[in-house]
Structure 1
């Protein structure tokens, strides 16, 4: 029956909508949590994004357009947790998947952030920065019945004859941020910093499925489906075409990207206290803000899943070879209707706080520790990082880190910055080993890379 179910999904329009919710981002390495290893990098200007009180080594820094990108992802399970091969065939371990997932509120997050352009200036006592950034954030929440239905099929033991309640919500938003920041020394011990972010929401898509499904009989296949599937979008125009396919008009995307109809604001705050020449402690709170989405360009669709019931097969017709109605082609008729009900919505950004300390073992060797926590609605993602860094001049540096989070206690990360006077390239990750050598075994992965032009020194000698 599982084979039939998979085959049905492959041949139907409904696959596009049933599968989009849990799977569309599960294999995408985009951003969910910050790259903790970046927090300690004084020779990388973008470290000010994790603590705006941080000073940088260079007097002037220009980020090369589009090159500074952060990617990461977190999920409830890794591929190796649920997938195995036997006799050359691949299988999903249904029992393992059932044991991993909770009955409600399984969460998958991803996003991408890119510094389009940035300018940083630093003196010994004061600094300012301005940058233009793009962010893309996605969240999917689903219950375990969604995967149970897809992997086991509607006639599996424990599923046949039992009503399966399926729920899934996906929220995706893209926005542009103009960041204006400063840092300054209050005295020899204390430094403060802040970044004001002027936000403009560009695109938003929300998908929500609340449904029940029951196959009553394993012979006649009589099936009942009930529920509702809704889609709501901003900045996408009319994104469902007449054939019920997801289709975004390029002109609508360009218009939403260049317009400023959805406004918001956020703030980052940071502080550093220098205990002595070797020890310092620091803290920051990031992304305290929200975006208000206008109802003017909002488009909503819904589909009544209750239209897809099947009364069953007549076994006599099957035995006699008469023409019969298939229980499954009805899913091909899944249709969405545009409906009114536009409303102004407020999206609170995912926000984080950091508490860290570092010790200068030598002039160029630093040891550090960081507790970080990302919060989004009811979701809390804590992490703890230990770090060691060796600076080799203004643009050269290497570092190693160990990070523990909800998904794993054994993330080994690192950083490297290379270049020559006036130019720097860097690569940073919290998942150097798992991300590079055990992709199938990781539940979370992140990286950040970029290139900067560096001029002068901010230090007084």
Structure 2
């Protein structure tokens, strides 16, 4: 029963897990937050101010493994059958990721000579939560089946691979338009880690063989490590109250935590009137963890032959209590967990964006066949590549899109994305302008909404800005 509950928890967590790709927002230049994805992108405003806590809210979900529907579908199949199928249908390459981002405040303004204004300064502070965990296949199978029917089977201890962190980021970006064709940008970042938990690059195995002194011989060859920062103080009830913990979290959000540095770079180039390319590298940086550290490590080869079912002869002068106490102590002493406060450095997950775009269709005047001057193109299509560095291997996504300026106050963007989660991800974004007020709403994987419990990936982005053009 305990194993079932554990697995249900994993599956439910998958449904609320998150990915960092923002393919609908990328290149949507009328929305100021697009500069967070490409600091060298096109700019269409003189200045803007984001509504605090609402200028950019991003949540999305995705899993490459089983879904809730796989377990609880009313299809006449026994639950135990669906449960085992879900377990054995996943591998240690399947992963669950979680990402959430909220802008605390943001803004930007054009700079330079009054006749040109070819430079732009943007700034802000956002909070981010990021998690990725790979399905620990061998751990789950061992917990489900036990080792009695798996004699001589080697279970891989390296299946344990997960990392989670909560950070805040203050950033300042600079964008410059060199000429009518090219612009570039740079964004500097200061990271403040609120809390971090990481267990990566684990190695080793567990195997059960026929024993010599007992029925079975259990061999553990392990090199496991868990690194944490910002956790132990919050879990220590003796040193803090809830009010003190909340103060600690607020302080860490505003640079009271473990600090780090990073940067983004980006550019855009107008090949011709209608063709353009752009690209960016994001989160090239690190966080140095030196405060509130608690690390755990198990390393070495351990052998345990289990419990001898035959009680020793009375001539040994050993009581039953002493006998079982000795067995308990042997097992507890088998694994030696080293606890340290060693400093460590975590690297940010670097992201790559690149796209090629084709614009077409100018608006015609009603009373003549000419086109409106300086109105720009009404439509655009293109392809975008997204890559993010992850512990085992990079995750990739390819997106095709169609952009349309319906009215001066309303623009839409439709996308089709192929990624690790789905081959049928259709999304749409809308950006509306009422005077100086901008509101945008974006979502993807619309085909999954017909059965949300079977969804492999869904996402939502929204925000409010005050924009002066």
Partner of 2:378: 364
Partner of 2:443: 429
Question: What is the CA–CA distance in structure 1 between the aligned matches of 2:205 and 2:422, rounded to whole Å?
Answer: 33
Contact 2:186 2:266 in 1 (8 A): yes
Aligned residues: 417
Which of 50, 53, 58 is matched with 2:45 structurally? 58
Contact 2:169 2:190 in 1 (8 A): yes
Which of 435, 439, 442 is matched with 2:452 structurally? 439
Contact 1:352 1:374 in 2 (8 A): yes
Partner of 1:137: 130
2:286 equivalent to 1:290: yes
Which of 26, 30, 49 is matched with 1:39 structurally? 26
Question: What is the CA–CA distance in structure 1 between the aligned matches of 2:133 and 2:387, rounded to whole Å?
Answer: 19
**Structure 1 residues 313 and 35: alpha-carbon distance in aligned structure 2, compared to 1, 3 A threshold:** farther
Question: What is the CA–CA distance in structure 1 between the aligned matches of 2:57 and 2:337, rounded to whole Å?
Answer: 37
Q: CA deviation at 1:172?
A: 1.1
Q: CA deviation at 1:289?
A: 1.2
**Structure 1 residues 19 and 301: alpha-carbon distance in aligned structure 2, compared to 1, 3 A threshold:** farther
Question: What is the CA–CA distance in structure 1 between the aligned matches of 2:118 and 2:346, rounded to whole Å?
Answer: 36
Contact 2:119 2:176 in 1 (8 A): yes
Q: CA deviation at 1:311?
A: 3.4
Please give the residue correspondences for 1:162-177 in structure 2 after superposition, counting only pairs within 5 Å: 162=153, 164-166=155-157, 167-177=159-169
Residues 417-456 of structure 1 deviation map (CA, whole Å, 9 limit, x = unaligned): 235212222112342322x3343333333332211122x3
SS in 2 for 1:47: helix
Q: CA deviation at 1:56?
A: 3.0
Partner of 2:276: 280
**Structure 1 residues 302 and 427: alpha-carbon distance in aligned structure 2, compared to 1, 3 A threshold:** same
2:139 equivalent to 1:146: yes
Partner of 2:414: 400
Partner of 1:344: 343
Which of 52, 63, 70 is matched with 2:58 structurally? 70
**Structure 1 residues 291 and 419: alpha-carbon distance in aligned structure 2, compared to 1, 3 A threshold:** same
Q: CA deviation at 1:9?
A: 7.3
Contact 2:229 2:289 in 1 (8 A): yes
Range 126-135 or range 384-393, more displaced: 384-393
Question: What is the CA–CA distance in structure 2 between the aligned matches of 1:373 and 1:419, rounded to whole Å?
Answer: 31
Range 159-168 or range 127-136, more displaced: 159-168
Which of 91, 96, 119 is matched with 2:107 structurally? 119
Question: What is the CA–CA distance in structure 2 between the aligned matches of 1:89 and 1:251, rounded to whole Å?
Answer: 49
Contact 2:152 2:207 in 1 (8 A): no
Range 258-267 or range 182-191, more displaced: 258-267
Which of 175, 194, 199 is matched with 2:191 structurally? 199
SS in 2 for 1:376: coil
**Structure 1 residues 389 and 302: alpha-carbon distance in aligned structure 2, compared to 1, 3 A threshold:** same
Q: Which has the larger radius of gyration?
A: 2
SS in 1 for 2:163: strand
Structure 2: gaps spanning 5 or more residues: 112-116, 311-323, 362-376
Residues 181-233 of structure 1 deviation map (CA, whole Å, 9 limit, x = unaligned): 1212111111111111122222112357877476999xxx9996966876432
Partner of 1:128: 121
Q: CA deviation at 1:48?
A: 1.0
TM-score normalised by the chain length of structure 1:
0.76
